[in-house]
Structure 1
Amino acid sequence: MKKLYFLLAFASILLFLSCNKDDNTSNNDPKLIIKLEVDPTQVRLGNTGTPANIPAGNAGQSPVFNSISAHYLEFTSNATTLLGDGAIVYQAPETDKGGAGAIDFNRSNVVAPGDVFLEVSLKDITPGSYEWVRLSLSYQNYDVQFYFNDAPFTGTVASFVGFNNYLTEYTIKNETVTVNGNRSQGYWGFETITGVQTGQAPEGATTVPNPLFTTSPIPQGSCVVTGNFDQNLVITGNESEDITVTLSLSINNSFEWVDVNQNGKWDVDPDSGENIVDMGLRGLVPSFQ
């Protein structure tokens, strides 16, 4: 009887040690860590990935970001790799609750700029040498300067730049907006001193820089910003340490409106006509360490 008790106790200890070993191995797996940053001094690019000025008749400002989210992340090895044919690192949950397929905002990962957006085991990434990054942005929340009756104020914008967005409700700063439906790229909510305004930027007006537009186009209405590493990111599948990839996004005058009176200020008086036209990010510079 004592012998049987000893064997059972010994087996239990072995099982415990084995479980702990597995847990530690899992916890110590090297990871790919993704961070999203924003930079108001980064070059301002247009849709073709070349420097772009603010169009005549419009004005812009570099907003102060509170939070950001992305829908899709892909690494590609060369300039001819088509969208979807690279190593897909991440794709956010989608839903058809609103009819057509859309990003499920309730399940999106929204973080402050500079915080960790994503952690993935490097074992789950297809080994390869990657030159390009494609990042589909979906949500931005930021503060902007505006004028009401010629007096300056600060307001908060919730900006939805994903291809399609299913929203039940969302909070801008202090105010919550109920939607319970789909909203297409360019939908926004603006919390001001006079309450909440919502609106929609014109179809196709959201800038999405893609330096590979001739060899690897992206679908109209997506927000897949493309950028290249200074040197290729090489993933072997045998890494022993984490790799941190920082995706720096240009917000250089990324908030753009029709400047009716040409004073360079965003006037939100009811009769101003100074509507938001573009909230797209203005370039992507990836780096790793």
Structure 2
Amino acid sequence: MLQRTVSGWAAHDSSGNITPYVFKRRENGANDVIIKIMYCGMCHTDLHYVRNEWGNTMYPVVPGHEITGVVIEAGSNVKKLKVGDRVGVGCLAASCLECEFCRGGEENYCEQIQFTYNGIFWDGSITYGGYSQILVADHRYVVVVPENLPMDAAAPLLCAGITVYSPMKEGKLMESSGKKIGIVGMGGLGHIAIKFGKVLGHHVTVISTSPSKEHEAKHRLGADAFILSTDPHQMQAGKRSLDFMLDTVSAEHSLGEILELLKVNGTLVLVGAPDKPLQLPSFPLIFGTYNPSLLSPFSD
């Protein structure tokens, strides 16, 4: 199997440190494109893998799955992409392409899914991510970046963006405006969710443990309201006020008090990925008839 030498950054153990690393990528195949990487977002998933917090890291690991760049070589079977195209790659590198999910455009649910890094490609090679000079990617998992979208701004949309966009779409937030939605946490996922919520015409409330984030939430990102989740009075005042809520927090926390912010028959979608089980008291569910929806951070 032909390979090419690439420079990048990798973690070699669970210390959390990444250092310069020279490794091998496969040569361009008939279905592949080679992408010169221009930008790569930093996703909290990168931290989970670097630190082996999910227990499945294959060291050395080169993180990064919010990748934008320019095609510098295209395989013989690639018809929709050409050299010079501005493109992006998210967290998926391969799937079976034959199951009901792959045929239905939902490759993320395929049981044979492989990721852009810390995965095993079809040829048996280990996948390495975007903290590197170039990426060799199957063209079926590459998207075109519109000319009017800056490449640096596009990169975070390829994981964080789609992770919050997908449940908003499934929750029918595109169909009508004026809903009261809550965003729990204001990190990489949360700040994008706030922007999407406002663009879609909804009333957005941020729920956070950090009082210092209130000014940024309201004055920089345009949130309509802010609830400090460690303040019992604010939580009580917000009880049963929200139609829809996205929980973006990746740390261990309880869902009980958060659920009580929802209206009866409201919807909570979990898009964070804590490494420990979350606390889910039964009474908020019983008395609110809520619709908890648990989604992977790879829900694109």
TM range (shorter): under 0.3
With a CA cutoff of 8 Å and minimum separation of 6, indicate the structure with the bigger relative contact order: 1
Relative to total residues, which structure has the larger helix share, 1 or 2? Answer: 2
Relative to total residues, which structure has the larger strand share, 1 or 2? Answer: 1
Give TM-score scaled by structure 2 length.
0.23
